Structure 1
């Protein structure tokens, strides 16, 4: 666990994320982080939860219609 301090960046307020955290999570300067509200607070994630949901729906659709999609691909 790490404590991150809110800092002034020009006219904005932000946090400085240590390099080791950026490397471990695979994000860097210029990347977008999504804020997801959870029952335990907020979660910062590099993955868009809406995109993840759409991918899950697509997977369920392909599984349901697997045979039809195979025939259409021929």
Structure 2
């Protein structure tokens, strides 16, 4: 995969993602990317790691309290 050129955009800098990279990330213009620091460097992802952690907690609660949620749904 070729390197990406950093460009000046106003008072910030940015990169343009090649089409194939955008397709692999499943992002379109206007979508948001999240930046995470990993042991291997910086990672860009269309998925919010904090949201994913919250959803995992919600899944655990829904599994544990399945009967209560079923009664509330009636």
| TM-score relative to the length of structure 2 | 0.82
Relative to structure 1, is the Cα distance of residues 6 and 61 closer, same or farther in structure 2, using a 3 angstrom cutoff?
Answer: same
Aligned mates of 1:8, 1:68 — CA distance in 2: 54
**2:9 alignment counterpart:** 9
Whole-angstrom CA distance in 1 between matches of 2:32 and 2:72: 38
Other-structure match for 1:57: 57
Range with greater deviation from structure 2 (2-11 or 49-58): 2-11
Q: CA RMSD in A?
A: 1.6
Matched, 1:22 2:22: yes
Aligned length: 74
Inter-partner Cα distance in structure 2 for 1:50 and 1:9:
28
Tell me how far 1:10 sits from its aligned partner.
Answer: 4.0
User: Quick check: 8-17 or 27-36, which moved more?
Assistant: 8-17
Structure 2 unaligned blocks of 5 or more: none
TM-score normalized with structure 1 length:
0.82
Q: 1:22 to 1:73 in 2, by over 3 A?
A: same
